[in-house]
Amino acid sequence: MIKVQKLTKIYNMGNVKVKALDGVSFNVVSGDMLAIMGKSGSGKSTLLRQMGLLDLPTRGRIFLGRYDVTRLSEGQRARLRLKHLGYVFQEYALLGELTAHQNVYLPGMMLGQRERDYKKRAAELLKIVGLGKRIHHYPKELSGGEQQRVAIARALINSPKVLMADEPCANLDTISSGRVMETLCNLNRDMKLTVVFVSHDPGDRQYARHVLTLGDGKIIEREGKIT
Amino acid sequence: MIRSLRVACLLAFTSVTKGNIRIALLTMLILILVALNLVFVPGLLDGLAWGANDKLINTYSSDIVIESGGASHFIPDVGQLLSEIRQIDGVDSVTARNYIGAEIEYEGKYLGAAVYGVNPDTEREVFTIADSMAEGNYLDADDVDTIVLGIQIAGADDTELELYARSLQSVHAGDTVTVTYTNNIVKEYTVKGIYYTEFIQTDLQSHISEGEFETIAPYLSDNASAVYVKTAEDADIDEITRRIMYTTEGLRITTWEDHAGLVDSMTESFEIIEIIIDTVNLLVAGITVFIVTYIDVAHRRRQIGIQRAIGITPAAITLSYVIRAVFYTVVALSLSMIIYRFGIIPLEARYPFHFPFGDVFLQISPFVLIRTALLLFAVSVISALLPVRGVIRTKIIDAIWG
More confident of the two residues B401 and A114? A114
B309 chain-A contacts, CB cut-off 8 A:
52, 54, 81, 87, 89, 93
Domain locations in chain A as residue ranges: 29-54+78-223
Residue B14 to residue A102, Cβ atoms within 8 A: yes
Best B17, B310, B394 residue to mutate vs chain A (most A CBs within 10 Å): B310
What is residue A160's predicted lDDT score, i.e. its pLDDT?
86
- The per-residue pLDDT for A74 is 82
pLDDT at B45: 83
Mean pLDDT of A40-59: 89
Measured in angstroms, the CA of A81 and the nearest CA of chain B are apart by: 6
**With the C-alpha atoms ordered B235, B236, B241, B246, is the resulting torsion angle positive or negative?**
negative
Is residue A64 very low, low, confident or very high in pLDDT (cuts 50, 70, 90)?
Answer: confident
- What is chain B's mean pLDDT, rounded? 88
| Neighboring chain A residues of B316 at a CB cutoff of 8 Å | 110
> Which residue(s) pair with B114 in the sheet?
B101, B205
User: Model pTM?
Assistant: 0.72
Dist. CA A22–CA A6, nearest whole Å: 8
What is the per-residue pLDDT across A7-43, written as a single tens digit (0 to 9) for each?
999 988 878 888 889 989 999 998 899 999 998 888 9
Q: What is the pLDDT of residue B194?
A: 97
Sheet containing A59-64: which strands, arranged edge to edge? A16-28, A2-13, A59-64, A67-68
In the predicted structure, residue B117 carries a pLDDT above the cut 90: yes
pLDDT of residue A227: 59
Answer positive or negative: Cα dihedral of B49, B52, B56, B62.
positive
Which DSSP letter does residue B232 get? Answer: P
What is the pLDDT at residue B126?
95
Task: Specify the 3-state DSSP secondary structure of B235.
Answer: coil
Q: Does A78 touch chain B (CB under 8 A)?
A: yes
Q: Is the model's pLDDT at B262 over the cut of 70?
A: no
| Calpha distance B326→B77 (Å, rounded) | 66
3-state secondary structure chain A: CEEEEEEEEEEEECCEEEEEEEEEEEEECCCCEEEEEECCCCCHHHHHHHHCCCCCCCEEEEEECCEEHHHCCHHHHHHHHHHHEEEECCCCCCCCCCCHHHHHHHHHHHHCCCHHHHHHHHHHHHHHCCCCCCCCCCHHHCCHHHHHHHHHHHHHCCCCCEEEEECCCCCCCHHHHHHHHHHHHHHHHHCCCEEEEEECCHHHHHHCCEEEEEECCEEEEEECCCC
Chain A neighbors of B3, CB-CB under 8 A: 109-112
How many Cβ atoms sit within 10 Å of the Cβ of residue B246? 9
Nearest to A107 among B303, B311, B396 (CB): B311
How far is it, in rounded angstroms, from Cα A61 to Cα A55? Answer: 12
Nearest to B377 by CA among B315, B325, B319: B325
> B72 and B289 in contact (C-beta within 8 Å)?
no
At B37, the amino acid letter reads N
ipTM of the modeled complex? 0.84
Q: Around Cβ B65, how many Cβ atoms within 10 Å?
A: 19
Q: Using CB atoms, which residue from B2, B18, B311 is nearest to A82? A: B311
Cβ contact, residue pair A87, B309, below 8 Å? yes
Chain-wide mean pLDDT for chain A? 88
The nearest CA of chain B is from the CA of A225 a distance in Å of 31
Burial degree of B172 (CB within 10 A; 0-12, 13-18, 19+): middle
| CB proximity A97 to B under 8 Å | yes
B396:A54 CB<8 A: yes
C-beta atoms of A96 and B308 within 8 A: no
**Which of A54, A97, A102 minimises the CB distance to B309?**
A54
Task: Please name which of B376, B381, B281, B328 lies closest in space to residue B25, comparing C-alpha atoms.
Answer: B328
Nearest to B184 by CA among B103, B110, B74, B99: B103
**Is the distance from CB of A68 to CB of A51 less than 8 angstroms?**
no
Of A52, A79, A98, Cβ closest to residue B14: A98
- pLDDT of residue B38 exceeding 80: yes
Compute the distance between CA of residue B29 and CA of residue B24 in angstroms, rounded to an integer: 9
**Quick one: what percent of chain A has pLDDT higher than 70?**
98
CATH T-level topology, domain A29-54+78-223 = Rossmann fold (3.40.50)
Q: How confident is the model at residue B128 (pLDDT cuts 50, 70, 90)?
A: very high
Cβ-defined contact of A97 to B19 (cutoff 8 Å): yes
HSE, CB side, 13 Å, CA atoms: give it for residue B54. 13
List CB contacts (< 8 A) between B19 and chain A.
97
Contact (Cβ atoms closer than 8 angstroms) between residue A26 and residue A4: yes
In angstroms, the Cα distances linking A120 to A84, A88, A105, B180, B292 are 20, 21, 9, 100, 36
Burial environment of residue B91 by CB neighbours within 10 A (0 to 12, 13 to 18, 19 or more):
buried
pLDDT at A186: 87
Q: How far apart are CA A154 and CA A123, in angstroms?
A: 10
Tell whether the model's pLDDT for residue B193 goes beyond 80.
yes
- Whether A190 has its CB under 8 Å from any CB of chain B: the answer is no
Q: Label the pairing between strands B109-118 and B205-209.
A: parallel
Residue A49 has its nearest CB partner, among B7, B18, B397, at B397
> Residue A55: what are its φ and ψ, rounded to 5°?
-150, 160
Q: Give Cβ neighbours of residue A86 (< 8 Å, ≥ 6 apart).
A: A152, A154, A155, A156, A157, A158, A160, A162, A163, A164
DSSP B142: T
Q: What is the DSSP string of B327-344?
A: HHHHHHHHHHHHHIIIII
Work out the angle at residue B305's Cα, subtended by the Cα atoms of residues B300 and B309, and round it to the nearest 5 degrees.
Answer: 145
- Reduced to 3 states (helix: H, G, I; strand: E, B; else coil), residue B119 is coil
Sign of CA dihedral B230, B236, B241, B247: negative
User: What is residue A226's predicted lDDT score, i.e. its pLDDT?
Assistant: 58
